[in-house]
A and B are shown apart, each in its own frame.
Chain A
Amino acid sequence: MVRGLYDVAGGGAALTRRLDEICNEVSKAIDNGARIIVLSDRHSDAIQAPIPSLLLTSAVHHHLVREKTRTLVGLVVEAGDVREVHHVALLIGYGAAAVNPYLAMESVEDLARRGTLLADTSPEDAVANLIKSLGKGVLKVMSKMGVSTVASYTGAQIFEAIGLAQDVVDKYFTGTTSRLGGIGLDIMAEEVRRRHVRAYPPGGVAAAHRTLEVGGEYQWRREGEYHLFDPETVFRLQHSTRSGRYDVFKQYTGRVNEQSKRLMTLRGLFSFKEGARPPVPIEEVEPVESIVRRFSTGAMSYGSISREAHETLAIAMNRLGGKSNTGEGGEDTDRLYDPERRSAVKQVASGRFGVTSEYLTNADDIQIKMAQGAKPGEGGQLPGNKVWPWVATTRHSTPGVGLISPPPHHDIYSIEDLAQLIHDLKNANPRARIHVKLVAEVGVGTVAAGVSKAHSDVVLISGHDGGTGAAPLTSLKHAGGPWELGLAETQQTLLLNGLRDRIVVQTDGQLKTGRDVVIAALLGAEEFGFSTAPLVVSGCVMMRVCHLDTCPVGIATQNPELRKRYTGQADFVVNFFEYIAEEVREYLAELGFRSLDEAIGHAEMLDTNEAVDHWKAAGLDLSPLLHVPELADGASRHQVVVQDHGLEKALDNQLISLATDALENREPVRAQVEVRNVNRTVGTMLGHEITKRFGGEGLPDDTVDITLVGSAGQSFGAFVPRGVTLRLEGDANDYLAKGLSGGRVILRPDRSASFVAEENVVTGNVTAYGATGGELFIRGKAGERFCVRNSGVTAVVEGVGDHACEYMTGGAAVILGPTGRNIAAGMSGGVTYVLDLDPSLVNPGMVELEEITAEESERLRGIVTKHRDETGSAVAETLLADWDHTAGRFSKIMPRDFKRVLAAKAAAERDGRDVDEAIMEAAHG
């Protein structure tokens, strides 16, 4: 047991001394045979204050690592300052084997005793709940970081420090990245002193009725933490854009910029080097109309926000020539073709909701969301009570059934996979720019370089402070880094590697003022995304109840009653962006730039020398952000050339010319071609041509019926629409029929193959991922993750690997052979039939097993018959030969939510009630 206390009056020196002593005490204890060391901050008093537990833990941990005795002992941390998931994660990440948050435990006990918690929570329950939630929270953090076991997470130090001095890092947090320098032990001791003095006030008199501070971390409070959006900025922003008053808008930006300087953002610490270049008259600066084209609104899905709010943003951006973003929720057909209400940017995220050939074909930009600023490393969830019928339609899902966007894209496990998805999407719409959205963190520059090499047209560096009120609190506060850091790193890395000129760099993350935009431009961004601010303009008052469907201003809700309260208008949003652009012009003029293009990447125009007026800012060194690599002659600091996607080499060019009759006259086309595994993404560009001409309906089934012989490359048949049938005789790589959009894909082994099809894997992993419609018949087995996020395809296969049908929301999967484990994890819709199912392989979290009914037996017989006819399957032949007996060998995997909704629907139809209402009633419980 080692006391983590120090003489608070002695300040940083005493703290340093005591840490050294503690390290010695621990070393001695180990010499004396101690194998568990408890670091405790109990028994602090008016003289002795607790050492911050993380500093204490990490100091001891690294001391022991240096002494090579670390593995001899376990560290147990007993600390009063531990209360949040993040605190526990940090302690474990810096070496703690066990954590005792005694004060938090005593606090919840007290709350339970006083009855402030739920009425029937006993003190024991409260403590158990606290421990359980801290534990689950740490698991969630670990999963975000891709770590499976606590043993691997302990001491893993996967954190970035912002604002910690290098000597402190070297001694106590050895190996941690801290790019900007910052505070030392003196300042930490001062922070401790300020807390300590509240517990032991001078003169022994504490203020009456003032027990604990209000905090205000997550909700604004006057005496609490600063927030850029406070009552005044929200009011001034709304009022200025609604009444068309630029003067009030300047009051708003003035206050935000001033707040920013109170150390709320890194950009708040910069100043412009005015006079470094001669100012230019403002009339010579590019006009508002050209600046607003660089603006976009953030990816917020229809579903998470209301139709009214979503369309307001789209209409405004279309008027301005900027771009709005669908978010991960698809887009209704009536908006897809409406030049006023469409969203120019179509997002493709892990859930692939509504990602069809039609959706992609109608995009200006296609954005691949690798991560989200508000909650990097996490997926999303639309709770069932927000999945109203109209939302479900757009997402190709079932009303009232919750939807999960998984954390990863199931088709991306490496940068090569990402390159493949970029290529797939480019094929799905060759005119669209492909974006990749990344979150700022250490190493994002390297990833961005990879993204540039992977032929992405745009890379988006998203700041950590994304605004959704639906994000978990640990993510809101502690995940990701500021865009200033990520953007600077990206710009520098791209320049150094000669990759900058071929990719557009976009940034977002609480951009609020013209000053923010200009700083982003100087750091290297050429396009700018805004989310929270335009929502505030539309009426958002930062309730932070986006997940509850109770948004009182009709934005983050689908409830028709609440949506009536919506007051936003596209004109207000137009005003906002024009005002921002006007401010940008003013700054450009002062700085001596005639256009944003001229300004991009001129980080040397930013200054950090201005004394930062805050007691904690003294040690910061922002100069790494402002470094501009030496540029070769003629090297550009922004994008000047377009990426070479290599589409001219695609097999589809041949397919398209073969399909001329179909494309021009809707006439049937039959052809046979050879395919090799260098032919990636076959059929997708052809599909795009059909969708472009004939819309989402496509052509009648089998209009273009092409047989391909050979070994296909990745993404065979991706996003193929109705009217196209691809018959592959041979085998396929990964991502077969990815995003299938109504077309038919039939795979059978080569006719001359001597092996038994059903005993062999004929296609790779992630088959039919995110498919929305059509048919897929595979004679033979598929790899892992078959039909993940299927929402409409009927797929037949003769065996699968692990994780089949994960997160499925619709369609049907028929598996006529052995399966791997974890079937139907997170499955909320559709149905899966498995022959001779081993029930222990099913993930029972959201589904149950059922016998098939006679009606279903007939349906299934039809599907199996088709499978036999299309593929010549021997398995199907055998089953059909004795169907009355073999039908009983099928098990049906049915999602519980889906079943409940179907029951509600059936009951409503029977009683003649409104089906939608009945469904939502069931969903709201």
Chain B
Amino acid sequence: MRITLIPALLLALIFFLIPVFIMFYQGLFDPEFTTQHFDRFWNRGAYLRIFINSVKISAITGLLCVLIGYPTAYFIVRRPPSVRPILLFLVLVPMWMSVLVRTYAWMVLLGREGLINMALVYVGILDEPIKMMYTSGAVYVAMVQILLPVAVITCYGTMADIDQSLLSAARVMGAKPFAAFRRVFLPLSLEGAVTGFLIVFVLSMGFFIVPALVGGPKDTMVANIIAVQVAKANWGFAASVALILLVFTLIAMTLIRVVSKRLIYSAREETS
């Protein structure tokens, strides 16, 4: 090990690893070992419901991001190499925009007197403005817009590694365009799509700005419980919820990894 690693190691140790351990302690000891915080989580239906709801919102967000992100990445990777960085840049700039600012933009757009309602009434699709803010739909639109670039770059990462001439080869051998895509490109790029879903899913599980600002009471997510409990100084309970979230994210990450590997390998054998 090199001494130059020390400053970064200290930062990661003191401000990441130790805090996570402190949270374990806070969730499990009060001051003696106790499972009371976890009992509270499991026994009050409301918390469990919020957790399951977060899993649902995150899974749907992940799916939507991959469904839009995969074709977007495919479009970019099929362009000449000189054009690709410019198109990727167009996707990356919004990714670095403040999440708060982007959520605010949706608040402005989706309001009863917001631009979208006004436009729909003006065009005649709506007779009068409808409620868009504080709905699940608003949460999905904002979350997909915020996380879509992540799905695009993950899909693009694996696609860029695929030898593009494989597709042309399949065409030369007589495969129709879509068949060439399905039999050759899709199996090879599936890993990026699954990883993209996984990353968006895990990132969504930690979201709290969007559900708090554009969602209704039904759209509360796990991170919102943690923030509220911290404000109420219920650290033990907040820590136990955070622990459940941590364990869940870690399990979800390993599980989907294993499943995706098997899926990808079986698909590859089928092609070969």
A and B, one complex? Answer: no
